């Protein structure tokens, strides 16, 4: 039997959550549009709530996105093949119990240098992602 984390369990330090000023669907659209406009490939859009429904279960609106740019990620993986465990980048858009929408992402710049010992100059292009994600949830 596995144990379930407490709902108030702290997320990992590399997971950053941004509150969205927009509803769930608008936040999803804004993410997709921002990625496309920035030349970033959306590799997967996984509707986890839909998958839960198909399994006969309920889950709050939750979508996981895998995205990246091979021109930015490939040099990182050349420097350390195991860094591929961090790439592509990922973010989840989810709705809480009060119907507030959040965008949570894994900030790989916190692990690529320290954990994978990749030179910061190699993963520097990835450091622009937090700003892009912040604009998605903040701007009109």
With 0-12 / 13-18 / 19 or more C-beta atoms within 10 angstroms meaning exposed / middle / buried, residue 78 is exposed
Mean pLDDT of the residues in the chain: 92
- Cα distance between the two ends of the chain: 46
pTM of the shown model? 0.89
**21-138 adopts what CATH topology?**
TATA-Binding Protein (3.30.310)
* 140 residues of the chain, pLDDT tens digit each: 333 344 566 777 789 999 999 999 999 999 999 999 999 999 999 999 999 999 999 999 999 999 999 999 999 999 999 999 999 999 999 999 999 999 999 999 889 998 999 999 999 999 999 999 999 999 87
């Amino acid at each position: 039997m596995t144990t379930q984390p407490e709902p108030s369990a702290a997320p990992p330090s590399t997971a950053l959550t941004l509150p969205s000023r927009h509803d769930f669907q608008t936040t999803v659209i804004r993410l997709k549009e921002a990625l496309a406009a920035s030349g970033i490939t959306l590799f997967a859009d996984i509707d986890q709530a839909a998958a839960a429904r198909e399994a006969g279960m309920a889950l709050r609106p939750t979508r996981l996105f895998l995205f990246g740019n091979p021109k930015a990620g490939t040099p990182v993986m050349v420097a350390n093949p195991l860094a591929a465990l961090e790439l592509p980048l990922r973010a989840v858009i989810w709705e809480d119990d009060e119907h507030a929408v959040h965008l949570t992402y894994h900030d790989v710049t916190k692990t690529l240098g320290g954990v994978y010992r990749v030179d910061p100059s190699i993963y520097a292009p990835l450091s622009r992602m937090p700003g892009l994600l912040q604009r998605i949830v903040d701007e009109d």
